[in-house]
Amino acid sequence: MRIEDYALIGDTQSAALVGRDGSIDWLCLPRFDSPACFAKLLGDESNGFWRLAPAGHEMATRRAYAGDTLILETVWETSTGTVKVIDFMPPRHANPALVRIVEGLSGTVRMTTEISIRFDYGSIVPWARRLGGRLHAIGGPDSVWIDTPVHLKGSGGRHTGVFTIAAGQRRSFVFTWHPSHQPEPGIIDPGEQFVETSRFWKEWASRCWLPGRCRATVIRSLITLKALTYSPTGGVVAAPTTSLPEHLGGVRNWDYRFCWLRDAAMTLDALTESGYVTEAGAWLDWLLRAIAGRPEDLQIMYGVAGERRLPEQTLDWLPGFEGSRPVRIGNGAAGQLQLDVYGEVLNCFYRARKLGMPPHDYAWTIVCRLMDFLERCWTQPDEGLWEVRGPRRHFVHSKVMAWVAADRQVRAIEELGHTGPLRRWRAMRDRIHAEVCDRGFDPGRGTFTQSYGSRELDAALLLIPIVGFLPAEDPRVVGTIDAIERELMTDCFVLRYPVSEGNEIDGLPGAEGAFLACSFWLAEALDLVGRKDEAVDLFERLLALTNDVGLLPEEYDPVQGRHLGNFPQAFTHLHLIHTALALC
C-alpha cells in the first residue's frame, strides 16, 4: 500500500497505522518511540502485522473517522453482505490496548484475521501460548495478551481465525501490551471502552472555539496534533513513524518520533489560537523541564519525556518502505546547532502570553537566559531549519528568527510588563535586521537568498513577512515571493530548496518531494501581499491532497501523485491550521 492508504489511531501515548486493507502495519508500544511490534510498514509480513477483513477481499469500500474522534470505521461491501471494522486505542489506564470490533451491517460476511507479532521492529519472534482462554505472546521485555471469542489457530509464528458475522452481530478483539515482568493484565470490556473513547475525543473536540468553515477545515488537524501529543508530559512528536522516505528508494529516511522544539512551539501556538490553553500549558511545562540547565546545552529535539540522548542507528534487517534504505531509529540531528529554534521558542512564549496564558516567572527567567546565549552566538553559522548534513552556513532564515527572538523579547517588555535589558535587545534587533538586509539579499535578482553570498533560494524565506521581519508590501518581500514561484515550484507546489546531483546544500544524494508546509507558507504569504484569490486557490489544492480520512504527510510527489515522508506529519497539519486561520 501507499503511505496515503493508512489511517491513524492512538491513545495520546502511542499510535498505530491501519491500512485500507484492514491491516495494522505499524504499532509501537508503550510509547511513540518504543520498538514496534508490528513493523510490516518498513518491511514485509515477516516483520509483524494484524489483518482483519472479509475473506478474499483486499481494499475496503470506504472508511472514515466516527465524527470528531480518532475512532476509525472501515466498511467492506461484499456480494453476501456488508461489514464494518471499528479500530481504536482507548485512553490509557493501566496498560496500552488496541480494540478491533467487527460489526455486521447487512447479510452475512465470512471474515478472516491473521496476527503476526514481532517484537523489536520485526526482529524477535515471541513465544506464544494459551492461558485461561487468552492468547499470550512474550519476548524479552514485551508481553501481549489477545482476548477474543474467535478461535485463533497458531502455525509458523502466526495466528489465524475464520468466522462469519451476520447483520446485527459483533465480534471483538482486544490487544493489550504490558511489561513481561509484571502480572497478567486484566480484561477490558470493548463496548465500554468504545463509549469512553468516543466521549474522550468528542469532549476534547468540542472545546475548539473556531466558528463555521474554519472549524470544519481545521478540526481533523487539531485532533491529529492531539493524537501526537504524549499526554504524560505534554511533548508533541513530529510524527508517529520512522523512515518513511522523502524519495522512494532513497536514503532520506529519518526517525520523527521525537519532540522538535520548533514543531512543538508552533503546535502550541496553533492549539492556543484554537482554544486549547490547557494543552498549551502542558507543553510549556514540558519545554521548561526539557531545556532546564545551561542555555548553551539546548537541543533542537528531545525524547517525549525530555530525554537528550537520541543516538541514531540503522536496522539492517528491515528493507524499508518500497526498498527505501536505510531504516533509521534515533536522530543524529539532535546535536546540531539551529539558531532559528531560539526564535521559535521565544516567539511561542510571547504569543502564549498575548493569547491569555498567565505569567510565569520561571519561564521568563529561562527565556532571558536563552536570549543571553543567542546574543553571543547569533553571528555563528549553523545547520539551519532543514537540518542539513553538509557544512554549516549563515542561513538567512536562522538570522531572521534570531531577529524574531530579539523582537519578541523587546515586545514582552514593552507590551507585557516584563523587565530586561531593553536598550541592548533593541540594538541587537536592529543590528540583525541591517545585516540580513545587507548580506542576505541579492539586489540583482531582487530576492533574499538561502544563505549569505549564495544564489540558492529557500522556501523558509516566505516566512519573512509572516513573522514581521519586513512588511508584506516591501519590494524585497514581493521579489522573494516571485523568485520562489519561478524557481522552487513544481506543479504548483513548493520545494524546500534546490535539490540535485552536485548540490552540496544538505550533504545528501537524491531528490525529494514538495515539502507541504512550504506550500502553506506560500498561501499565507500570497494573502499578505494582496493576492487573496491565488492564496485561497493554493490552499484548496493543498486540502485536496489529504487522504480519505483527512491526513497529510511531510511531502508530496506531484509527478506520481503520492504522499512521501513520515505520516501523519505534525508540521504539515499545524501549518494547515495557521493558514486556515489567516484565510478565514
Q: Could you give the CA distance from residue 565 to residue 554 in angstroms, rounded to a whole number?
A: 5
Of 459, 481, 486, 456, whose CA–CA distance to 470 is shortest?
481
Reported pTM:
0.95
**Cβ partners under 8 Å of residue 253, min gap 6:** 242, 243, 244, 245, 246, 320, 321, 324, 325, 326, 327, 328
- Which pLDDT value is given to residue 509? 64
Residue 420 burial by Cβ neighbours in a 10 Å radius (0-12, 13-18, 19+):
middle
DSSP classification of residue 293: S
Amino acid, res. 548: D
CA distance 566 to 253: 8
Mean pLDDT, 10 residues at a time, over the chain (584 residues)? 97 98 98 98 97 95 98 98 98 94 98 98 95 94 97 94 98 97 94 98 92 85 95 92 95 94 84 80 79 80 92 96 97 91 91 79 86 95 88 96 98 94 98 98 97 95 97 98 95 85 61 90 97 97 97 95 97 95 90
Give the three cell numbers for residue 231: 499526554
Rounded to the nearest 10°, the torsion over CA 450, 453, 456, 458 is 10
Rounded distance, CA 584 to CA 582, Å?
Answer: 6
Helix, coil or strand: residue 220: helix
Grid cell in block for residue 491: 506543479
| The three three-digit cell numbers of residue 78, written as one number | 461484499
Please give the domain boundaries of the chain with CATH numbers for all domains: 3-204 (2.70.98), 215-583 (1.50.10.10)
Residues contacting residue 135 through CB under 8 Å, at least 6 positions apart: 128, 129, 145, 146, 147, 148, 152, 159
Signed CA dihedral, 78, 84, 88, 93: sign only: negative
Cross-strand bridge partners of residue 345: none
Q: What pLDDT, on a 0 to 100 scale, did the predictor assign at position 561?
A: 94
Tell me what pLDDT residue 507 has: 61
pLDDT at 501: 53
Question: What b/e readout covers 205-228, taking b as 16+ CB neighbours within 10 angstroms?
Answer: beebebeeebbebbbbbbbbbbbb
Angle at 186 between CA 180 and CA 189, to 5 degrees: 135
Beta partners for residue 466, in sequence order: none
Task: Count how many Cα atoms sit within 13 Å of the Cα of residue 7 in the half-sphere of its side chain.
Answer: 28
Q: By C-alpha distance, which of 566, 575, 576 is closest to 257? A: 566
| Alpha-carbon span 276 to 208, nearest angstrom | 7
In DSSP terms, 51 is beta-bridged to 23, 114
Amino acid present at 151: H
Given this model, what pLDDT does residue 506 score? 63
